[in-house]
Amino acid sequence: MKIERLVTGELQSNCYIVWDENSLESIIIDPGAESEKIGRLIDDKRLTVKYIVCTHGHFDHIGAVSEVKKKTGAKVVINKKDIEIYMHAGEFAASWGFNIKQPAEPDLLVADGAELLAGNLHFRVLTTPGHSPGGICLHIQGVLFTGDTIFAGSVGRSDLYGGDIEDLKKSFLRLISLPPDTEIMPGHGGHTTVKKERILNFFVHEI
Ligand SMILES: [Zn+2]
Mean pLDDT, residues 131-137 taken together = 98
- Ligand 1 centroid to 58 CA: how many Å? 5
- Ligand 1 centroid to 131 CA: how many Å? 7
Torsion sign over Cα 108, 64, 155, 180: positive
- Ligand 1 centroid to 148 CA: how many Å? 5
SS3 131: coil
- Report d(CA 96, CA 32) in Å as an integer: 15
AA letter at 184: I
Write the pLDDT tens digit of every residue in 81-113. 999 999 999 999 999 999 999 999 999 999 999
- Ligand 1 centroid to 21 CA: how many Å? 30
- Ligand 1 centroid to 189 CA: how many Å? 13
Torsion sign over Cα 189, 194, 200, 205: positive
- Ligand 1 centroid to 156 CA: how many Å? 7
pLDDT band at residue 49 under the 50/70/90 scheme = very high
- β-strand partners of 39: none
Eight-state DSSP code of residue 119: T
- Report d(CA 87, CA 66) in Å as an integer: 12
Eight-state DSSP code of residue 41: H
Q: Give percent above pLDDT 90 in the chain.
A: 100
Write the pLDDT tens digit of every residue in 17-48. 999 999 999 999 999 999 999 999 999 999 99
Q: What is the DSSP string of 69-94?
A: HHHH-PEEEEEGGGHHHHHTHHHHHH
- Ligand 1 centroid to 199 CA: how many Å? 24
- Report d(CA 89, CA 107) in Å as an integer: 17
**pLDDT above 90: residue 207:** no
CATH class, 2-206 region: alpha beta
What pLDDT score was predicted for residue 51?
98
- Ligand 1 centroid to 163 CA: how many Å? 10
- Listed by start position, the domains of the chain span 2-206
On average, the pLDDT of the chain sits at 98
- Ligand 1 centroid to 158 CA: how many Å? 9
- Report d(CA 39, CA 36) in Å as an integer: 5
- Report d(CA 130, CA 128) in Å as an integer: 7
pLDDT band at residue 1 under the 50/70/90 scheme = very high
What pLDDT score was predicted for residue 9?
97
SS3 124: strand
